[in-house]
Structures are given as structure tokens and as C-alpha cells.
């Protein structure tokens, strides 16, 4: 499975520092976006710690986790359980560091991670950084925010369309680093040629409406150009927060790409 990847992070137009962090490792099929919180220098540190800890966990030999999976993990693939476990351990690591340093006691970070192995993307996340799948000209969310607003939407108290404007949007109910243990949400999605996976921090989703993501993918196709375009758009719309975008393209075979080019409509739209 050939992957083509783009990634970019940007401070935005309002913040004094970039508390986002990401890793994009095509060789491992591992992609992580973290959005730190807690102010300087804590937020920066927390997000960086998280991406490094997760990478270290997954690179720490090929051994399977010795701990039995939590009850709600039964039924997931081994690779998914490993990713979830890596995220859980990174939480514990950040929490321990925070306890030792009063300056960093309030630090925390969101995380969204995707690990692509054997044609399946395992997704693990905590907080309001998101993953999306672009498949067959449709954008499908792979994560549900751990925010107050999302809880309200799911409880039927707030309409999803209205939730975009909620004042509670920036209140998170789960993050890494603030409790000794954390519940990590998992998802699995098979990937086909022509699919795109998009990971991002809320600096993108808060500034750019979702339909623009699909438009960028259809018109630009190239992952790095998609990332750059989305970041420019977020900044053009205000850039209220740090923006991080990672885009992974599951490459089609050369003949498929050629036929796509032939069948593409002049306005850039075409049937996948």
C-alpha cells in the first residue's frame, strides 16, 4: 500500500506560540497530531511529549502488550489495541511529569493518531483533535470530540449544526496528562486506493467548514498542497488558534490515476 503524505503546522494569527505538535512517519504508517494546553511552556511541552511517547511506545520492539486489553477493547485488531495502549501510556507519562513540576501542573494535550497497517487504519484519540476519511467523494468523521458540546449533541440537547457556534466548544472533558489514567477512543477503517485520511487540530475545524476539506482534496489531490491550502484558509478566516493538518493519500495505481485525469470534468469535479 503506497502512501503519499503532507503535513503542516502553523501558529495562526492570534496566538504567541504554537502548542501543536505532530509526527508523520510514512515508513511506519504512523501519524499523530497533538494540541497542547496549559500555557507556556506547559502546553508546548505536553504535545511534544505525547507525540514522542507514542512513537517510542510503538517502536519499542514488536512485542505485544502483556496487559490484557480493557473490556471495551475486545473486538479490535491487535494493532489498534497497541496504538490505544501507547496513547494510554503517554498519558501516564505526561501526568507523572506534570506532578513533578508545579509550573507544568496544568499541562495537557489532545491527541489524534492513525496507524496504518495491512490496509486498515487504526485511529485512537482523546480530546477535540479529529480524524476524517475521504472516501468516494464523501467526508466521514472517524472521531467524536471529547468536548462538552459533543456530549450535549449526543445527548440531544444541542443541534449539531448549532454546536459549531456554541460557547462551550473549547471545554474538553477528556485530555492527556490531567488524570493518572485516561479512556482512549478507538476506531478502525479499511483503506482503499484513492482514499484520503485527514488528521487535524481544532485550529482547522474551528475556522474552516468541513465541505472545504473535500473541495480541497478534489481540486488539489496532492497531500502537501491540501495541507497548505487548508492552513491558508484557516488563517484567512481569522486563524484564532494554532493549526495543524496531516493528510495521507492512499495512492492509486498509475493506470487509475491516468484514467482519473482523463475523466475529470473541466471544473475539477469528477466521480471517484
Partner 1 sequence: MPSLVLQYGHDILKEYDLGESLTIGRLPDNTVIIDNPAVSAHHARVSWDGKNFFVEDLDSTNGTFVNDKRVIRHQLLDGDAVIVGKHKLVYDQTAGGEPALHTSAAPNLANLNDTVYLDTRKHKELLAKVTPPAARGTVGVLHVLSGRADHPEYRLDRHTTVIGKSDRANLRLQGWFKPAVAVVITRGEDGYVATRLSGRSRINKQSLTGRQPLKDGDVLSVSGLSLEFSIRPVAEESLSAAFPARDHSEMNRRVSLV
By CB under 8 A, name the binding residues for partner 1: 14, 35, 37, 39, 71, 74-77, 80, 106, 108, 118-120, 128, 135-136, 144, 148, 150-152, 154-157, 167-168, 170-175, 178, 183, 186-190, 192, 202, 240-241
Q: In what order do the strands lie in the sheet with 243-250?
A: 3-10, 243-250, 196-200, 130-135, 138-141
Q: How far is the CB of 75 from partner 1 (least distance, A)?
A: 4
- Shortest Cβ distance from residue 122 to partner 1 (Å)? 9
CB of residue 198 vs partner 1: minimum separation in angstroms? 17
For partner 1, which is the closer residue by CB, 152 or 224? 152
Query: CA 187, 192, 193: angle at the middle one, nearest 5?
Result: 140
Give the residue among 250, 260, 31 at the shortest CA–CA distance from 130: 31
Q: Which CB atom, from 202 or from 228, has the smaller least distance to partner 1? A: 202
CA distance 236 to 163: 22
| Nearer to partner 1 among residue 110 and residue 233 (C-beta) | 110
- How many Å apart are CA 158 and CA 136, to the nearest integer? 30
CB of 15 to partner 1, least distance (A): 8
**CA atoms within a 13 Å half-sphere pointing along the CA-CB vector of 221:** 13
What one-character DSSP code corresponds to residue 143?
-
CB closer to partner 1 out of 6 and 43: 43
Amino acid at each position: 500500500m503506497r502512501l503519499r503524505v503532507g503535513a503542516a503546522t502553523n501558529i495562526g494569527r492570534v496566538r504567541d506560540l504554537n502548542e501543536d505538535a505532530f509526527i508523520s512517519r510514512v515508513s511506519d504508517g504512523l501519524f499523530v497530531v497533538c494540541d497542547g494546553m496549559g500555557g507556556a511552556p506547559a502546553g508546548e511541552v505536553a504535545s511534544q511529549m505525547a507525540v514522542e511517547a507514542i512513537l517510542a511506545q510503538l517502536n519499542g520492539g514488536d512485542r505485544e502488550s502483556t496487559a490484557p486489553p480493557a473490556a471495551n477493547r475486545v473486538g479490535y485488531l491487535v494493532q489498534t489495541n497497541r496504538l490505544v495502549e501507547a496513547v494510554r501510556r503517554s498519558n501516564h507519562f505526561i501526568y507523572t511529569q506534570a506532578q513533578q513540576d508545579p509550573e507544568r501542573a496544568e499541562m495537557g494535550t489532545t491527541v489524534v493518531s492513525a496507524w496504518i497497517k495491512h490496509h486498515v487504519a487504526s485511529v485512537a484519540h482523546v480530546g477535540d483533535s479529529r480524524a476524517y476519511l475521504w472516501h468516494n467523494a464523501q467526508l466521514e468523521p472517524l472521531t467524536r470530540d471529547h468536548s462538552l458540546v459533543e456530549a450535549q449533541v449526543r445527548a440531544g440537547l444541542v443541534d449539531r449544526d448549532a454546536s459549531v457556534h456554541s460557547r462551550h466548544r473549547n471545554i474538553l472533558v477528556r485530555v492527556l496528562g490531567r488524570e493518572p489514567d485516561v479512556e482512549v477512543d478507538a476506531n478502525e477503517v479499511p483503506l482503499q486506493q484513492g482514499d484520503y485520511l485527514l488528521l487535524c487540530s481544532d485550529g482547522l475545524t474551528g475556522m474552516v467548514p468541513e465541505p472545504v476539506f473535500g473541495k480541497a482534496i478534489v481540486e488539489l489531490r496532492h497531500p502537501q498542497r491540501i495541507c497548505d491550502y487548508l492552513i491558508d484558509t484557516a488563517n484567512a478566516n481569522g486563524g484564532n488558534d494554532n493549526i495543524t493538518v496531516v493528510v495521507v493519500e492512499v495512492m492509486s495505481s498509475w493506470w487509475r490515476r491516468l484514467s482519473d485525469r482523463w475523466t475529470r470534468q473541466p471544473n475539477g469535479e469528477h466521480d471517484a
